[in-house]
Amino acid sequence: MQNTIECVLLDLDGTLVDSGPDLAGTLNSLLLEEGREPFPYQEIRPTVSHGGMVMIESFFGITDNEPELRRLHSRFLEIYQSRLSQETVLFPGMIEVLDTLESMATPWGIVTNKPAHLTAPLMRALTLDDRAACIVSGDTLEYSKPHPAPMLHACRIAGREPSKTLYIGDARRDIEAGSNAGMYTLVALYGYLGEEDKPESWGATGMIENPMDILEWLNKINDRTLHPA
């Protein structure tokens, strides 16, 4: 019997890789440059999936000064690019998941809102660029998540149907994008969720505590022919 899931797509930061230490280190370096006190990693971690601009707004307390935000964000990106893969690693168990998918001839790929000039070198540094069936960044298309266009584009590159694709992410926009594209979706609870996040209300197919749970959900969906959320 043919498997229901023929392709697996993943968000990058907070799902495939733990880039929190590098992004938090970047933020703290910027804070120090600006004469401010750094913050503990555990306070910064929940904001990582929202990107550099939100991190700056949150920890600099700037929301209504667009020129200053742009200046700080530009410098943030410069610092981050210099330490892109210094401490970033795959989450425990993720390499086994990717190996298993490849042994099953199930293509996997990345759909992220991270811009391509940061996504590409990070994937190369992790030696995953040649393994991924597709890599769709935040500026690959006119639209980024939560719009479904990047998800559909990834499926076209991978040569698979959205209705037979599973997408895993750690933010509401991930689940919205996957659901709007007609995919099965899983929330990565091990990612960068904050106290205000309510993943149980996002309408995902399921939630996972660690990467190895992806394989269990693949079996559940394939065996029971569950419908996308």
CA distance 7 to 45: 29
The 3 state secondary structure assigned to 8-66 is EEECCECCCEECHHHHHHHHHHHHHHCCCCCCCHHHHHHHHHHCHHHHHHHHHCCCCCH
CA–CA distances in Å: residue 89 to residues 7, 26, 29, 125: 23, 16, 20, 10
CA distance 140 to 193: 25
Point out the catalytic residue in the list 13, 22, 170, 174.
Answer: 13
Cβ proximity of 210 and 92 under 8 Å? yes
Please state whether beta strands 184-188 and 17-18 pair in parallel, antiparallel, or not at all (unpaired): unpaired
H or E element, residue 165? strand 165-169
Point out the catalytic residue in the list 11, 18, 22, 174.
Answer: 11
Does residue 197 have an active-site annotation? no
Instruction: Quote the DSSP letter at residue 202.
Output: S
Does residue 139 have an active-site annotation? no
* Closest among 123, 223, 205 to 166, alpha carbons compared: 205
Residues belonging to the active site: 11, 13
